[in-house]
Amino acid sequence: MNIVVILGAPGSGKGTIAGRLADAEELWQHVSSGDLLRQAVKDRTPCGLEAEDYMVRGSLVPDKLIANMMADLMLRINNGSTLLLDGYPRTVGQVALLDETIALCQAHLHAVVQLEVPEDVLVERIAGRCICPKCGAGYHVTNIPPRRAGVCDNCGTALIVREDDAPETVRHRLVMYEKQTVPLLELYEQRGLLRRVPANGRIPEIVAKVKAVL
């Protein structure tokens, strides 16, 4: 199993780009730590109940909690796949925990892609974001509009704004990204794995640029 980590600030398009890549390549699979956690909260699992408070505040959940969920999932995945990890790891502690899981799965960390987007664009992107509470599909009022305003293309459910996309919470998430996740860039650069991709543009062009560095 090959692993590609997609790194970037909230609003940098990690989920959208990883999703498009996975749609285009049969053996590529998009794994979003945020989606896993949101599902656990919805299902009221013990992990979901523990994670909920952190998520609503826009804080990161404890390293061990998300690392165990990711490890459970990675151990169940077919060996021939390439996993696109969106949102994990996010702290230096999680880098070490991911290394352990990779060794356990006999997987290979192929590359770490950083989606680079200026801060004013991040804020603008998050402001227009909405998701389907049923199937998890993501939209944006101008960049990825649903066919019918406010309704999911896939399942017809009314779209909602994520609780943690409220402006105050977004500011906190951006600060936490700088503090907790930016140090990972240097760490992966030292390992020769980091690929920086300018990601302020049209989605198909960004997808092509990411493919080109993999």
Task: Write out the catalytic residue numbers.
Answer: 14, 90, 129, 162, 173
Give me the residue whose beta carbon is nearest to ligand AMP. 34
- Please give the structure tokens belonging to residue 162: 């994520």
What one-letter code names the amino acid at 11?
Answer: G
- Please give the structure tokens belonging to residue 60: 């990161």
Q: Using CA atoms, how far apart are residues 45 and 37, in angstroms rounded to an integer?
A: 10
Q: Where are the beta strands (DSSP E) in 43-189?
A: 82-86, 108-116, 129-131, 138-140
- DSSP summary character for residue 25: S
Residues that bind ligand AMP (CB under 6 A): 10, 33-34, 37, 54-55, 58-61, 66, 87-90, 94, 164, 173
108 contacts: CB under 8 Å, gap ≥ 6: 1, 2, 3, 102
- Spell out a b/e string for 130-143, using b for 16 or more CB atoms within 10 Å of the CB, else e: bbbeeebbbbbeee
